[in-house]
Chains A and B, each alone.
Chain A
Amino acid sequence: ETGVTQSPTHLIKTRGQQVTLRCSSQSGHNTVSWYQQALGQGPQFIFQYYREEENGRGNFPPRFSGLQFPNYSSELNVNALELDDSALYLCASSLLRLAGRIRNTGELFFGEGSRLTVL
């Protein structure tokens, strides 16, 4: 068990709707990353939050947005859903060290994912 939980596990939406996916990170981790994984593909980086601020973004439009809260939870919001948004959405928590000269990142701890189907 990674200590990372995601909800819901499955959901079905229609084109144009909005969706919020939730993630509870492992205690003590200061970073959460979100990935989109289409069937048969590798996870695609959406964005990363460090101490409640976005500090990295992949090639995704602004209708993909997120939040990270002080209690280690986070959200991924997707507006104006399109058919191609159908995928497994994965969140991963990690510990990022940026103190002084130490700049290091470690392994990612993944949740089981939220499978979104857009009809």
Chain B
Amino acid sequence: SQQGEEDPQALSIQEGENATMNCSYKTSINNLQWYRQNSGRGLVHLILIRSNEREKHSGRLRVTLDTSKKSSSLLITASRAADTASYFCATAFPNTGGFKTIFGAGTRLFVKA
């Protein structure tokens, strides 16, 4: 099964509203990352938060990490139609010889103009 699971699976909001996506994972991690993917394209890295950090900001993005609950959230403020995409959380955890980065199933965000 996947290491990370996003919630909700799909989200539809109006332009200007905030969008919140959640991610839960199962094992101890080195870091947690959020990625964005436009339909059929490669993934684009948005933000990385390490296991010893609790909150991080980047522009309109705010990520929180609660290692005791093994969960993270991504908040996009003042959403725009251009934010329409799939968003994935990915967890990097120790593996033989290094780390594995495993993705969840994603949240499909649709922002209506």
Contact = CB atoms under 8 A, between A and B. Distances in A.
Interface in B90-112: 90, 92, 94-106
Contacts of A94: 101
Interface of chain B, main secondary structure? strand
A115 B40 contact: yes
A50 B106 CA distance: 27
Nearest to A112: B42
Contact of B99 (A2, A105, A107, A115): A105
Interface stretch (A11-19, A39-47, A64-72, A73-81): A39-47
Interface residues of A, number: 34
Interface in B75-99: 88, 90, 92, 94-99
Contact of A105 (B2, B101, B103, B105): B101
Contact of A111 (B30, B31, B42): B42
Contacts of B48: 106-107
A2 to B, nearest CB: 7
Contacts of A98: 98
A21 interface: no
Interface in A1-48: 2, 4, 31, 33, 35, 41-45, 48
Interface in A72-99: 88, 90, 92, 94, 96, 98
Interface of B: 2, 30-31, 33, 35, 40-45, 48, 88, 90, 92, 94-106
Given A58-B100, A96-B98, 19 more contacts: A33-B101, A42-B103, A42-B105, A48-B100, A53-B97, A55-B98, A88-B40, A90-B43, A94-B101, A96-B99, A104-B30, A105-B31, A106-B48, A107-B33, A107-B45, A108-B45, A111-B42, A113-B42, A115-B40
